[in-house]
Amino acid sequence: MTPNFAAATNPLRDGLRRTRRSLPGALVIFGASGDLAHRKLVPALFALQHDDLLDDRTMIVGVSRRDWDDDAFRARMRQGVEEFGRVPVTDAAWGRFAQRLVHHAIREESDAEYAALRERLAAHEARIDAPAENVFYLSTPPSLFAAVSRRLAAAGLFANAVPGVGEDDAGRGRARLVVEKPFGTDLASARALNRDLISLVPESALYRIDHYLGKETVQNLLVFRFANGMFEPLWNSRYVEHVEITVAESIGVAGRGAYFEEAGIVRDMVQNHVFQFLALTAMEPPVEFAADAVRTEKVKVLRALRPIDPARIAESCVRGRYVRGAPGGKEIPGYLEETGVPPGSTTETYVALRLWIDNWRWGGVPWYLRVGKAMPKKVSEIAIHFKPAPHRLFGGDVGQNVLAIRIQPDEGMSLRFLTKLPGPDMVAQPVTMDFRYGTSFGAAPPEAYERLLLDALIGDSTLFTRDDEVEASWQWITALRDAWKGSSVEVPETYEAGTWGPAGADALLERDGYRWRRP
């Protein structure tokens, strides 16, 4: 029987609720009037309350420049929860949640406004009569990360970022700082931002968020690899022929041309999301499932990436840019037609890469990454292609074993293997064994921000990136971007919106005797 984890009572789920609940304190969201809070953060917090994972003493403070009182803020957030939330909104549930929500205006970035925030948090701590675990979430433009953090530090709001800083802090809760991506735009800026923030809060209290790490399938990758004795022995160059990672979006830049012109797909997606997938897939087993142990193994993978040879960059990198197309009958304007994009732009909306991880486990195994906008469908997956059997007893070219890990949509995994076709002849036929979260566990998995916000409120940094991890990824990406300047790949190839990318991306694999999967 398929276990139903959505049942009214479930010992496993209830046990997790008892051990993983937010701690008393406050979550302070800077940029609370923005899209992220409206669409993702507050709906995720409402879902945590629905699942009984939010402590009754957890207050949510929205900070913005808006002239909102608490009721206006609550009304705006309810709209977001009703439109974008995972769980239905009832008046009773909302009434309980609304009591947590308060708005705090900071318009002038003055010392007085931050002092008033400090007093508001102190009053909440006195009211709940418990040490407050205060989390400051910067959902602001990256250019404000350091400035807002300096104001928070000057107001004394990071004084207890490490327990027991002084006698007056003994027994108090801890402060934590959460920052959104992008964390820097190249190696130099990432290092500078790290220096700025770590001068204000210790690395242990700094949580750099990548929402893809909150997805159930990404986390399940660790369990799949390290809890199953049948798979980990095959997870190496002896048995794996090549690995594909695909992150495709069906929409174009959708009016964000000015932002995307500054970023490009490599900065926007590869440096963070895609490299996280790569590191989790390739890493060695950590000594324990703890934040530093997991993140140390991820850093080792990034440091083992072979640098791109500038003289041979066309053999390892293809850049693309979509032109007007009409996938499914819905027309998408070309990238150069977007507002904010100059006519002579060479910014990429697609990239395909061939990488090598020069270590003992993966030596000689090519890794192929492709990331793009205006693709035929929205899909993120990791595909492990195993080497074929050494001798074909049954003839024909029927393919090989492939393990596909689907990050989105339809989170789950599928394993392709060969079996006998029914009938009198010995003919091998590929079949697929599927696992889907929704059908196997009786409910859709929680949204990524639910897990990450809960971890931040608890103080678990396992799924957040560390300073050396950020710098290792930017080091490789910065070298890549430097290498394509003046090369044959500097001007992107074009591809029609609604297709799987430029012709050069197919040639990248065909030179090695492979073809891209069609998810």
Choose among 22, 53, 10: nearest CA to 135: 22
What mean pLDDT do residues 191-212 have? 92
Do residues 150 and 177 both lie within one domain? yes
Lateral strand order in the sheet of 101-105: 101-105, 58-64, 25-30, 133-138, 175-179, 206-208
Last residue in a domain, options 209, 226, 243: 209
Q: pLDDT at residue 358 above 70?
A: yes
pLDDT at 442: 65
Q: How far apart are CA 177 and CA 296, in angstroms?
A: 21
- Total domain count for the chain? 2
Q: Is residue 93 situated within a structural domain? A: yes
Domain extent, residue 48, equals 11-209
Q: pLDDT at residue 299 above 90?
A: yes
What mean pLDDT do residues 478-502 have? 93
pLDDT at 414: 86
The enclosing domain of 26 has a CATH number of: 3.40.50.720
Q: Is residue 358 situated within a structural domain? A: yes
Write the pLDDT tens digit of every residue in 79-102. Answer: 999 999 999 999 999 999 999 999
Lowest mean pLDDT among 293-302, 348-357, 414-423: 414-423
Q: pLDDT at residue 398 above 70?
A: no
Q: Is residue 515 situated within a structural domain? A: no
Confidence band, pLDDT 50/70/90 cuts, at residue 162: low
Do residues 176 and 117 both lie within one domain? yes
Name the H helices within 168-215: 187-198
What mean pLDDT do residues 188-203 have? 94
pLDDT at 439: 72
Do residues 382 and 303 both lie within one domain? yes
273 an active-site residue? yes
Do residues 183 and 266 both lie within one domain? no
Q: pLDDT at residue 221 above 50?
A: yes
Choose among 240, 497, 249: nearest CA to 370: 249
Question: Quick check: helix, strand or coil at residue 420?
Answer: strand
Do residues 245 and 111 both lie within one domain? no
What mean pLDDT do residues 372-390 have? 91
Q: Is residue 164 situated within a structural domain? A: yes
- Strands in 357-506 per DSSP E: 366-372, 379-386, 402-408, 412-420, 428-436, 493-496
- Are 498 and 326 in contact by the 8 Å Cβ rule? The answer is yes
The pTM is what? 0.88
pLDDT at 228: 87
pLDDT at 328: 77
Confidence band, pLDDT 50/70/90 cuts, at residue 395: low
Do residues 203 and 269 both lie within one domain? no
Confidence band, pLDDT 50/70/90 cuts, at residue 448: confident
Q: pLDDT at residue 378 above 70?
A: yes
What mean pLDDT do residues 315-338 have? 91
Do residues 285 and 425 both lie within one domain? yes
The enclosing domain of 336 has a CATH number of: 3.30.360.10
Confidence band, pLDDT 50/70/90 cuts, at residue 467: very high
pLDDT at 504: 96
High-pLDDT (> 90) share of the chain, %: 65
Q: pLDDT at residue 217 above 70?
A: yes
Do residues 250 and 198 both lie within one domain? no
Do residues 308 and 391 both lie within one domain? yes
Confidence band, pLDDT 50/70/90 cuts, at residue 326: confident
Do residues 204 and 297 both lie within one domain? no
Q: Residue 106 has what DSSP assignment?
A: -
Q: Is residue 1 situated within a structural domain? A: no
Residue-averaged pLDDT of the chain: 88
Last residue in a domain, options 187, 209, 231: 209
Instruction: List Cβ neighbours of 277 (8 Å cut-off, separation of 6 or more).
Output: 212, 218, 245, 247, 380, 382, 407
Last residue in a domain, options 190, 209, 228: 209
Lateral strand order in the sheet of 366-372: 428-436, 412-420, 402-408, 379-386, 240-248, 366-372, 350-356, 317-323, 493-496
Q: Active site residue: 50, 103, 273, 385, which one?
A: 273
pLDDT at 417: 75
Q: Is residue 24 situated within a structural domain? A: yes
pLDDT at 7: 35
Do residues 138 and 242 both lie within one domain? no
Do residues 221 and 123 both lie within one domain? no
Q: Is residue 518 situated within a structural domain? A: no
Confidence band, pLDDT 50/70/90 cuts, at residue 397: low
Confidence band, pLDDT 50/70/90 cuts, at residue 518: confident
Q: pLDDT at residue 209 above 50?
A: yes
Phi and psi dihedrals of 287, rounded to 5? -70, -25
**Residue 255's CB: how many other CB atoms inside 10 A?**
11
Q: Is residue 5 situated within a structural domain? A: no
pLDDT at 173: 65
Q: pLDDT at residue 19 above 90?
A: no
pLDDT at 490: 92
pLDDT at 206: 94
Write the pLDDT tens digit of every residue in 35-58. Answer: 999 999 999 999 999 999 999 999
pLDDT at 394: 66
